Amino acid sequence: MGSVTGNESLQNVVQPKGRDKSDTPIQPYEVPSVTLSAPDSSPRHDHSAFVARATNDAVRDLDLTTGQLSWPQGLDRLLGYEPAPETTQIGFWNERVHPEDRVRIAASIREATAGEAEHWSGEYRFRHADGSYLHLLERALIVRDNGGRALRVVGSLMDITARKQLQDQLCRSQKMEAFGQLAGGAAHDFNNFLTTILGYSDLVLAETGVKGAVANHVAEIRKAAGRASNLTGQLLAFSRKQALEPRVIEVNSLIVNLERSVLRLLGDNVTVACHLHQEKEGVHIKVDPGQLTQIILNLAVNARDAMPHGGRLIFKTGTVTVSEDRQPTPGIDDLAPGDYVAIAVIDNGAGMSDEVKAHLFEPFFTTKDQGTGSGLGLATSYGIIRQSGGRIYVESQLGKGTKVQIYLPKVPAPPPPSYKKPGSKNLPTGTETILVLEDDISVRHISVRVLRSLGYQVVEAANGDDAQRLITQSAAREIHLLLTDVVMPQMSGRHFADWLRKVSPHTKVVFVSGYLDESLQRIDHGMFFLPKPFDPEQLAQSIRHALDS
């Protein structure tokens, strides 16, 4: 069965059907007069035209017997068309209804006019004279003769584009929130696995008999776990449940580490080139690496989408000095004087018009097809860069590509870290009593094993109820420190810590979690935070630091 398109989609609408089931031809009838002209000063006149004009609605009057269409109001003001012979034909309206809505709306009108309904309403997209589509809500009266045949459909067309955009934005926001929760939960569980992998890898490397190829293989496993930890960090940054801590990084190292990920995202028809600074001592900025990584990946994906048939993407890094009378780019005039690091992402894609650039950093603004872009990427990037003391600027021309420049304050290089072999023996030790409260059995076992190997007395529990029983039954034993996961069934780590601090006010607390829970935004004196995944050295350092504080 072929689909109905074009002017044919409403042919059945303008062919009235007889009410009886016989084959008797339908007899001609007179069309009743309906006054829709502008109102005069008579107090008895129908004021519907006034109402339509006050709401900026358009009115269309379709004669079902002839297919003739008239526009008593709003054709030019709402839809942008001047009256012309073509506007009086049903094909004018039909051809401008969005192709995805055309058949649905035609069938709905046909069903209403064939039955006994007095009214019809429907939502559809209609092409404005400037080429854009308006979301319209049409509410119509079906005029019938004495026999019940539908003669005319007189409808009021209301522009609901703004309302539909708000609804779409709300739906996208809810979807992103749901995905963020899913990403945060998955990353939290994955960090438990990584904690176990890192812990046992270090224990194996610490064994004196592990050398040669076996040690190299275990070291590679540990490196892979470290890279996986960076991936979970990106998921947590997206879900906004990461313990965000800006730190000093070298900008070239970040770009080089990203290059392989960017290539996987961009596909085979986009080439990537890196033009990086050549300063021997490196160029450093202080940002959250996960946030900056997400910004650059988002810019790379936008560039890919602007080059559907392939192209070239360039990453550039360098330095620039800003003074009172010298700004790096004409469009930026509020950078404080000082030294900055510049990161540029350049493509030779479709480019953007001035109108698009004017709205580029607005939340939910996107030029992508519905359902393929949230419109939050650049708005979020703008906020992150501003909070880091920098600026983001976009240069673009239609057909000539786009250049996005990020300026961040340059900071001194950090002191070189002292190298320690994973699993080395010189970890801080102690003899205090530690309660390990962790529902994940693998994480609990590796934590207990590491702490006992460092000399601590360790009590372990899988949930808050068991831990409370242990404390109550052994009241004589002093608990010097509680190491607890935040998210656990039955009783959260925070609630148990609050209970324990009442029973034992001097007990120190180290919270462990794959993300910084909202309840930990305020950490009291004597409480500390250790993010997952962690290795034995990080665990040992955190425990000793908390006990000695």
Q: Is the pLDDT of residue 92 over 60?
A: yes
The confidence band for 237, taking pLDDT boundaries of 50, 70 and 90, is low
- Of 269 and 153, which is predicted with more confidence? 153
SS3 state at 505: coil
Within 232-364, strands assigned E span 247-250, 270-275, 284-287, 311-322, 338-347
Question: What homologous superfamily does CATH list for 45-159?
Answer: PAS domain (3.30.450.20)
Residue 417 has what pLDDT?
58
The confidence band for 128, taking pLDDT boundaries of 50, 70 and 90, is very high
To the nearest whole percent, how much of the chain has pLDDT over 70? 71
Q: Is the pLDDT of residue 88 over 80?
A: yes
DSSP state of 457: E
Residue 369 has what pLDDT?
47
Mean pLDDT of 97-120: 93
pLDDT digits (tens, 9 = 90+) for 454-467: 999 999 998 888 88
Residue 365 has what pLDDT?
47
Q: Where along the chain do its domains lie?
A: 45-159, 248-415, 433-548
Mean pLDDT of 192-215: 79
d(CA 56, CA 46): 17
Residue 69 has what pLDDT?
94
Residue 129 has what pLDDT?
93
- Kindly report which listed range (27-41, 190-204, 327-341, 513-527) carries the lowest average pLDDT score: 27-41
Query: Per DSSP, what are the bridge partners of residue 345?
Result: 315, 404
CB-based burial of residue 376 (10 Å sphere; 0-12 exposed, 13-18 middle, 19+ buried)? middle
Element (H, E) at 171: helix 161-206
Q: Which residues contact 340 (CB under 8 A, 6 or more apart)?
A: 319, 320, 321, 322, 328, 390, 407, 408, 409, 410
Q: Is the pLDDT of residue 165 over 60?
A: yes
Q: Is the pLDDT of residue 141 over 80?
A: yes
Element (H, E) at 255: helix 251-266
DSSP alpha helix (H) spans, 361-453: 377-387, 441-453
Residue 414 has what pLDDT?
84
d(CA 291, CA 322): 25
Mean pLDDT of 414-426: 59
Contact 142, 119 (CB under 8 A): yes
Distance of CA 542 to the CA centre of its chain: 34
The confidence band for 22, taking pLDDT boundaries of 50, 70 and 90, is very low
d(CA 196, CA 229): 12
Q: Name the region of 39 (left: φ>0; alpha: ψ -120 to 50; beta: rest).
A: beta
- Of 481 and 476, which is predicted with more confidence? 481
User: What is the fold, at CATH topology level, of the domain defined by 248-415?
Assistant: Heat Shock Protein 90 (3.30.565)
Residue 380 has what pLDDT?
64
User: What is the fold, at CATH topology level, of the domain defined by 433-548?
Assistant: Rossmann fold (3.40.50)
Residue 524 has what pLDDT?
63
Residue 199 has what pLDDT?
83
pLDDT digits (tens, 9 = 90+) for 276-291: 998 888 899 998 887 7
d(CA 47, CA 424): 89
Residue 110 has what pLDDT?
93
Q: Which residues contact 361 (CB under 8 A, 6 or more apart)?
A: 378, 379, 382, 392
Pairing of strands 58-63, 284-287: unpaired
Nearest to 456 by CA among 542, 546, 540, 545: 540
Q: Which residue has 């997400």 as its token pair?
A: 294
